[in-house]
């Protein structure tokens, strides 16, 4: 497990990316990149395999919900935390059903961002590798 989880920030608003970068700068997270839409995020993920993606829901080209679905299909181990200024029940439910590990509502403060990221990282689901069919089987004994 990485000591300093690698983070990708995805938001079409440069001010939001700067704000998130500032919040995470002196924490245990290592920011390895930024993207302004889901398409660019997927390209970055292919090359750099972040541990965590913080992603806005509403973006041009490919929105966060579509990108979330693509991320989870190809990289289910990546923790994805969604951000939105429109916390409708539908968006929250679609994000959670899509595999998001957390949700941050704008406007946010650094405590909320860090708490959500910490919780998502601590409770992540680590994929279990398939059992090796060549491994010795346990025998059941009738004593």
Domains of the chain: which residue ranges? Answer: 6-122
Looking at per-residue pLDDT, the higher value among 2 and 133 belongs to: 2
- Contact (CB, 8 A) for 10 and 38: yes
Confidence (pTM): 0.84
Looking at the structure, give the CATH architecture of the domain made up of residues 6-122: 3-Layer(aba) Sandwich (3.40)
Band (pLDDT 50/70/90 cuts) for residue 135 is very low
**Residue 50 in this model has a pLDDT that exceeds 90:** yes
Separation CA 47–CA 133 (nearest Å): 32
**Residue 107 in this model has a pLDDT that exceeds 60:** yes
Nearest to 54 by CA among 27, 78, 87, 89: 78
**Residue 86 in this model has a pLDDT that exceeds 90:** no
């Amino acid at each position: 497990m990485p000591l300093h989880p690698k983070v990708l920030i995805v938001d079409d608003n440069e001010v939001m990316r700067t704000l998130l970068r500032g919040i995470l700068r002196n924490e245990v997270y290592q920011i390895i990149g930024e993207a302004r839409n889901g398409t660019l995020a997927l390209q970055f993920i292919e090359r750099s395999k972040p541990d965590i993606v913080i992603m806005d829901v509403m973006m041009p080209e490919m929105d966060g919900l579509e990108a979330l679905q693509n991320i989870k299909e190809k990289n289910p181990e990546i923790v994805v935390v969604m951000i939105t200024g429109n916390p409708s029940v539908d968006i929250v439910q679609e994000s959670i059903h899509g595999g998001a590990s957390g949700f941050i509502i704008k406007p946010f403060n650094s405590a909320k961002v860090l708490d959500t990221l910490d919780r998502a990282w601590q409770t992540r689901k680590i994929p279990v590798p398939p059992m090796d069919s060549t491994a010795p089987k346990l025998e059941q004994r009738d004593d």
